[in-house]
C-alpha cells in the first residue's frame, strides 16, 4: 500500500482543518515516501495561484541519504562561514551546526526544493504559494513538513546547481522536508491578526 493511500484513508481533512493542524515537524520515522506520494504533493503544489499563469517553478526531489547529508553539511558550512555577519549569535544553534551528526533536514526521508525560473517580480511569490499548497496537502495526507531556510543557500551554490541540473537562471526558493512524523508536533500559539485598517 502506498503512503498516499495509507494516509488518505486514515483521515480526510477539509482545507481549514489542514490549515489549522499543520505544524513544522522536526522528528521523522525512517519510512521513505514512495513516488506516487511525492508526485501527489507536486501535483498539489502546481495548483497554486501564479501571476500571469507563468508557472515559474521547477522541483528538485532528494531522497538519497548520502545526498541529503552532503547538502546538510554544505549548508552548515555556509552558515558557519557567515556567522560573523549575523547579530546576535545563538550559541545553542552554533553548537548544533558544529555537531557532525546533526542534519539540518532532521533526518526526514525527502527534501523537495521549489525553484524559480527567471527573475520576474512574482517568481518568488509564486514559488511560496506552491510551497504552501504542498505543505497543506502533506498535512491532509498525514505527513509532516518543515521549511528549511538554512538549506536554500546551499542549493544555490554553483556546485549544487551543477549537481542538480539547474539552469543558470533557476534558483532555489523554498527547501521543504517531508516525511512520516515520529510523533505529534505540539501546537504553536499564534497572535491574533493585527489589523491596521479596515475601511
pLDDT in tens, 98-141: 999 999 999 999 999 999 999 999 999 999 999 999 999 999 99
| Beta-sheet pairing, 144-147 with 110-117 | unpaired
| Beta-sheet pairing, 57-62 with 110-117 | antiparallel
Nearest to 19 by CA among 181, 182, 143, 132: 132
Can you state the angle between helices 35-45 and 3-10, rounded to 10 degrees? 70
Domain ranges within the chain, ordered by starting residue: 3-179
Residue 4 has pLDDT above 90, yes or no: no
**Grid cell listed for 109:** 526521508
pTM of the model: 0.91
Pick the CATH number of 3-179 from 1.10.287.810, 2.40.30.70, 3.30.1860.10, 3.40.109.10: 3.40.109.10
Q: What is the DSSP secondary structure assignment for residue 167, as one 8-state letter? A: -
Look-up of cell digits 545563538: 90
Amino acid at each position: 500500500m502506498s503512503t498516499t493511500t495509507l494516509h488518505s484513508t486514515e483521515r480526510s481533512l477539509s482545507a481549514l482543518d489542514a490549515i489549522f493542524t499543520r505544524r513544522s515537524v522536526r522528528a521523522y520515522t525512517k519510512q521513505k515516501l514512495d513516488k506516487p506520494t511525492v508526485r501527489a504533493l507536486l501535483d498539489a503544489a502546481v495548483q497554486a495561484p501564479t501571476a500571469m499563469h507563468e508557472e515559474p517553478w521547477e522541483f528538485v526531489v532528494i531522497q538519497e541519504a548520502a545526498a541529503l547529508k552532503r547538502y546538510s553539511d554544505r549548508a552548515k558550512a555556509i552558515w558557519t562561514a557567515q556567522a560573523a555577519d549575523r547579530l546576535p549569535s545563538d550559541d545553542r544553534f552554533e553548537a548544533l551546526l558544529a555537531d557532525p551528526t546533526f542534519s539540518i533536514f532532521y533526518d526526514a526521508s525527502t527534501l523537495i526544493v521549489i525553484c524559480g525560473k527567471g527573475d520576474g517580480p512574482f517568481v518568488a511569490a509564486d514559488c511560496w504559494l506552491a510551497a504552501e499548497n504542498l505543505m497543506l496537502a502533506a498535512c491532509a495526507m498525514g505527513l509532516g513538513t518543515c521549511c528549511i531556510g538554512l538549506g536554500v543557500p546551499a542549493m544555490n551554490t554553483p556546485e549544487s546547481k551543477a549537481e542538480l541540473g539547474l539552469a543558470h537562471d533557476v534558483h532555489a526558493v523554498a527547501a521543504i522536508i517531508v516525511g512520516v512524523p515520529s510523533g505529534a508536533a505540539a501546537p504553536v500559539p499564534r497572535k491574533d491578526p493585527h489589523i491596521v485598517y479596515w475601511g
